[in-house]
Each structure stands twice: as C-alpha cells, then as structure tokens.
Structure 1
C-alpha cells in the first residue's frame, strides 16, 4: 500500500453518535467542539432507521432481502428469495459500473439520513468554515453480521451469501457517503465502526478467520478509496490491532482510555504502520460517568504518559506525534446529553493544549 500524506498532528474529531434528537442541536455541539474536523451526527434517539444497525441497510430493505428495520432479518425463506437477491445484485453491479441512481439506492433512507443531510445542508449554507477535514462513518460488516439474523436466529455473518450482501452493501454505502462529502472540497475521513472485531482470537469466536476479516474490511475500504477518501476503523475495545495494521486502513481509532495496554505490546507493528503513513486516533476522552472526574489537563497527562511508554518501547516519536488524532473513546449516543456535552468540551479543551 502506498504511504499516504495525512498528517493530522492531534486533530480532534468525534466518533459519530450523539444523544440529541434535533440535528441542529447536534451540529451546534459538533461545530463548537471539533470545528477543524467536524463529523455528521448519528442520531440513534430518532429510532431504528437511525440506529447503528438499521442506518445502512436501505439497499437491502428496498430489494426485499431484509425486512423490518426495527428487527432486521434476512428473508431467506421467502418463495421469491432468488428474485430478491437478483434485484439486489443487479443494483449493486449497476452501482459499481457508475450508475448514479443505483449508487444512490445504497445511501440513507429519508429518516436514517437526517443527521447526514442536515450536515450537508449546513455545509452548503455556511461553507466549511475553518474545517480542514470532514468525517463520516459507517457500521462494519462483522458487527452487523452478528446482529442481523435469518429466520432461525442464526447470525448472518456465518452464511457466505448473506455476509457477501452485507459487505457489498456497506462498501457501496461508504463509497456513496464519501462521494457526497468530497463535493465540499475537503479531505474526507470515512470510519468503519466495527466493535465486534474485538472478538477475533477470543474463545467465543473461534471460527473468525483473520484473512477473511481483512479481506472484508478491504472491500469496504476500496469503496472509500475509489472516491478519494481516507479509510479509518474504530473499535472501542481491546483487540489484535495487527489485524487492522495489516489491512488497507489508514486511521485506527482505539479506546486509549480503557484499553491502552492492548497497544503497548505492539511497538514493532505500530512502527511499520506509521512508516506506511498510518494514523493512530486516540480515543482518550472516556464516554462514561468517569469523564466527570477528568479534566483536559489530566487527560493530556495520560496521553503523554502513554506516548512516552510507547517511545520507550521503540515507537518513532516524531511519526507518532504527527500521525495522531484525538477522539472520545466511543460514540456518545447512549449518554445523557449533559455528559455527552462534557465529553466534547474535554475534547475541545485538549485540542487547545497539545
């Protein structure tokens, strides 16, 4: 993979979800807190179509492959299942070939895209202000594949055909979203949010295959790269980070507050990742009530201690500092509004101190 030239120098952004139910309130928080790298607000409080699972399924729902966004299941028992799959794959192939209308079908539903469309309208009306980067996000195939089942409540991830449709759907959505945001003339960071990746290597998920997971990530990443975006991955738990380092991902967003230890043992892989232009995005602001006990200064101290420890273990300090970002440790969509606002306030204050 070619070395990319993205050098964020502790640029701050959010993970995605916020607890507000009005997009204008969410955007006010985002622009106030992370004006250099604003993200569109995921608004899970609006319901199933705006949820982590339901938000990206529009093409599968329209094809009839999945029914009921509230409890999505693949309709493999339908008498016309083969015809429904044909509708989906035809739409997919047309999108790959560059048909605008087909690609559009992989975007959001009207309700599911409320936060995204509000962000785009805001950019059209007021411009990009001081922003140097725009950020979007899409859910990952492993997490969705574990959540979405067939009629027998078997995770669709373990069915080759169903998993293939999920991966292709997410790849085309990531491409569509990147293309929309790229129109505003700034670099676009598109992050794949796939927390279930923590299960790789665990005794409860022995059937997960490293090469397959990397291949699936790369399929989605290719959709982002086709539109000139910067592909990222967010996992809010400890995992084997070398799986991500060995993919085509360019930004790894990890929970640096609770799971830093899982990075500490990876000095050599981190150096190789940084050398090819990879960025570490530190989820250093906790997204739970302990955030009330923290200050920007205490979190900066924690960050600096972690950097110092990595450097002691052999990580190139100059590369690490120029190729780092700051975020909350996870999305804030499930938090009380005052706590979410506090998390973003800490993030903004940290950015002013590094």
Structure 2
C-alpha cells in the first residue's frame, strides 16, 4: 500500500501564508496532505473547522457552540441518509483549496486528508448552556452523522486529484478517556463512534488511519478495522511496544504504523538533528528485532500537527523527516 518509511504529516501547519505551507508540503512529503491553518483563521481550529453546516451551530466572539433548535435538528435527522455530503468551504479550509489548485492538471498517486474524530468532536463542542454535547444522545448521533457527511464530501473532492486517498481520523482526546477528567465516558461507546466513522469511510473505497498523540488503550484501537495507526512515537514508544501481540496481528492484516518520531513540542529545540534521528533509528531497530516485518509496514511522521510551532521549526521538522527516511532506507 505504501513504500516503507513513506513520509506524511498530521495536518496543522503554523503558516499564515497559505502558498508557503502548501509548497513546503509538496516539497517534503511522500504522501501530501492539505494543511489545516489555525493561525491563518479561527475557523481552522480543530473543532470549528468541521462545524460548518451542523444544525444550530453558532460562532460568536471567537467561540463555537450549538444553539439547540429541536425543529431544525429533527428535520435534519429525518432527512439524513449516507449519500448526503456536507461541503467544507474556503472560509474553513483555505489550504485544502490552495494545495489542490497547485496539483490541478495531474493526479498524485496518493493524497492524505483528515477529519476530527467523533469522540474528540463531541467531547469538545458544547451547547449554548455550556454542556458537552457528547452527553446528549441526540446531539452525539447528530455529530456522528454530520462528520460522515463531511468525510464523504472531502473524499469525493480529493478523488479529483489523486488515484488513492487516505483519511486520518484525529482523536487526541482518546488519551483522556477513562481518566478522572472523563470518568463518565464509556470506552465501549467511544469505540463505537469511531468504528462507525471508520466503517463509513472505508465503504467509500478509501484507506483510513487513526491518529492519537497521547497514551491510550492501543489494544482497542488496533482491533478496529483501520489501515494505519498514527501516534507520538517520540514520547510514547515504550508504552506502545507493550502491545507487541496486537501490533503483530495488525501488521499481518496489512496494517501500517505511522511513527511520530519527530517531536513537535519543546523537545524539538532541546535536541540536535542527529540526536532526534538516532533516537528514531534505535527505536525502529529495537521493534524490528521483535517484529521483523514491521519495517515494511511503517510510515514516518511528526509526532503531532505542526500548528503550534513557528515556521522555521516546522521547516526543520520537514527536513528531519527526510533525513530520517534516508537513514532508515539507506538511500
């Protein structure tokens, strides 16, 4: 499916100049992706970006929430079917449009899109009373259907520019499920929501990945019918390798691990290029002694999105990925 140690990104970029972000992606990444640009517009924040078109959604003074309108919600739910799509406009994803303009006229072999996952989305978005919508069953299901419609539109759009599409479902909040912060969130329900979105996306004929930048129950995630598991391997490699049996089974089903070896935190400034690359190489060597076939099923990425970095640091991350690939493939 992918060449060993192909490079891709998680999504967010720190730029306010759209063309620069797109050119950087097309220059450095084997699997290009469209840039999410939270510093360019508040509409490109992780939750807000996929709220457009959600019944009752309200943006006011930089805040986004659902203003509950029972009639509107009931009408939307009654009209929903899985062929419905919900466009993402330029006002919410300028990078999506700019990068596809740059590649227009030719078809890439593969292109990566992304969408905020249903658990993170519903545990982050609130109604007008400040209540988290996850805990309202109707709004939870509404959000899941809405994200399906967003995914369908995005996939149909991207198919114009690439032979194959992969969509990463971004679920950073999974690391907190089961902790005291979200003690009332049942793991089984969180997994159900993700499974439904994964199944829907795969039914559209594209590959699916899940990205979580923290620690979570990888046994549960690896059991979902995904093609790629993406995580922060810089910080959580030792925790992840505990699941060697589950990883081995995942690989036998042609699953890929996207190793987030290049840090996008303060660790980036604390270490030299050589230290970062050598740490990653040692980790791959260690895991490949246990699971020799894993090198054929590995992608390399930043540990998370680069949106919080400055531009020079994001450029360094891109160059480090290229250096690491050269080291791992002996190019």
TM range (shorter): over 0.9
How many Å apart are 1:223 and its aligned residue?
A: 2.9
- Residue aligning to 2:319: 345
Match of 1:89 in 2: 77
Alpha-carbon distance in structure 1 between the residues aligned to 2:162 and 2:304: 27
Aligned residues: 327
* Partner residue in 2 for 1:23: 18
Question: Judging changes above 3 Å, is the alpha-carbon distance between structure 1 residues 92 and 116 closer, same or farther for their aligned structure 2 residues?
Answer: farther
Compared CA separation, residues 14 and 185, structure 1 to 2 (3 A): closer
- Identify the residue that residue 11 of structure 1 maps to in structure 2: 6
Which residue number in structure 2 is paired with residue 322 of structure 1? 296
Alpha-carbon displacement from aligned partner over 1:25-76 (angstroms, at most 9, x marks no partner): 1111111111x2111111111222111111111120xx3x221163222222
Partner of 1:3: none
Q: Is the Cα contact below 8 Å between 2:277 and 2:320 reproduced in 1?
A: no
1:227 aligned residue (187, 194, 204): 204
Where does residue 233 of structure 2 map in the other structure? 256
| Partner residue, 2:158 | 181
Aligned mates of 1:341, 1:222 — CA distance in 2: 35
Cα distance in structure 2, aligned partners of 1:236 and 1:328 = 10
Q: Which residue of 1 aligns with 2:98?
A: 118
Q: Indicate how the Cα distance of structure 1 residues 242 and 108 shifts in structure 2: closer, same or farther if over 3 A, else same.
A: same
Report how far residue 297 of structure 1 moved: 4.3
How far apart, CA to CA, are the structure 2 residues paired with 1:215 and 1:168?
13
Q: Does 1:151 align with 2:139?
A: no
Gaps of 5+ in 2: none
Shift of 1:141: 1.5
1:194 aligns with 2:189: no
Q: Measure the CA separation in 1 of the matches of 2:210 and 2:309.
A: 22
**Is the CA contact (8 Å cut-off) linking 1:49 and 1:109 kept in structure 2?**
no
Listed one character per residue, the Cα deviations across residues 229-268 of structure 1 (whole Å, up to 9, x for unaligned) are: 1101111111111121111221111000011122121111
1:289–1:339 Cα contact (<8 Å) kept: no
* Structure 1 residue 19 displacement after superposition: 0.9
1:310 Cα offset (Å) = 2.8
Counterpart position of 1:53: 47
Equivalent residue, structure 1, for 2:146 = 169
Quote the Cα distance in structure 1 between the aligned partners of 2:196 and 2:238.
Answer: 29
Residue of structure 1 equivalent to 2:37: 43
Look up the SS of the partner of 2:80 in the other structure: helix
Q: CA deviation at 1:178?
A: 1.6
Unaligned segments of structure 1, at least 5 residues: 1-5
What TM-score do you get using the length of structure 2 for normalisation?
A: 0.92
Q: 1:74 maps to what in 2?
A: 66
**Shift of residue 311 of structure 1?**
4.2
Which deviates more, 210-219 or 81-90? 81-90
CA shift at 1:200, angstroms? 2.4
Tell me the secondary structure at the aligned position of residue 134 of structure 1: strand
What are the equivalent positions in structure 2 for 1:122-141 lying under 5 Å apart? 122-125=102-105, 127-128=106-107, 131-141=108-118
> Which deviates more, 249-258 or 202-211?
202-211
Aligned residue for 1:72, secondary structure, equals strand
Between stretches 13-22 and 217-226, larger displacement belongs to: 217-226
Bigger drift between 177-186 and 302-311 goes to: 302-311
